[in-house]
């Protein structure tokens, strides 16, 4: 099973993200756009894992306490990968969010594959 730990958004935030995604969609020549229900901010990507590791990840999450944080989207950008460009909404650096990510990373003992310094939420992959 493919596991990751993520922040899910409230409806108002999902509406704003979807609005931006839809504006990009209207101008795009090509692309595969994330569905609304798949939008999230990955904090820790664990990859393909056995079911047992899911329970270990849940136990690790139970050990963490963190301060509430606000996510501010402040830019768009893209990075190029093997399968093409991926566009994202960038988030402003946030100490509480960074600390939460570090705690999760330390407890799950895996390399973070997605967070990469607070890039943001990918919503388009142009192949």
Encoding tokens for residue 121?
């939420």
The neighbour count for residue 107, using CB atoms within 10 Å, is 18
Q: What is the CATH number of the domain that holds 107?
A: 3.90.1140.10
Boundaries of domain holding 118: 2-126
Range 4-40 burial, b when 16+ CB lie within 10 A, else e = bbebebeeeeeeebbeebeebeeeeeebebbeeeebb
pLDDT of 107 higher than 60: yes
pLDDT mean across residues, the chain? 80
End-to-end CA distance of the chain: 25
d(CA 111, CA 45): 8
pLDDT class of 14 with cuts at 50, 70, 90: very high
Query: What pLDDT does 109 receive?
Result: 60
State how many domains the chain has.
Answer: 1
pLDDT class of 113 with cuts at 50, 70, 90: very low
Task: Tell me the per-residue pLDDT of 36-78, one tens digit each, with 9 for 90 and over.
Answer: 999 998 888 888 888 888 888 888 788 888 888 888 998 888 8
pLDDT of 118 higher than 80: no
């Amino acid at each position: 099973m493919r596991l990751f730990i993520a922040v899910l958004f409230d409806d108002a935030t999902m509406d704003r993200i979807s609005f931006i995604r839809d504006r990009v969609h209207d101008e795009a020549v090509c692309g595969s756009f994330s569905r609304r229900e798949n939008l999230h901010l990955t904090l820790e990507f664990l990859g393909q894992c056995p079911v047992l590791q899911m329970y270990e990840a849940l136990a690790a999450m139970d050990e963490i306490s963190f301060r509430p944080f606000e996510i501010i989207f402040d830019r768009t950008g893209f990075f190029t990968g093997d399968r093409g460009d991926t566009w994202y909404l960038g988030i402003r650096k946030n100490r509480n969010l960074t600390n939460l990510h570090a705690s999760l990373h330390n407890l799950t003992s895996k390399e973070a594959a997605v967070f990469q310094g607070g890039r943001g939420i990918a919503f388009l992959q142009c192949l």
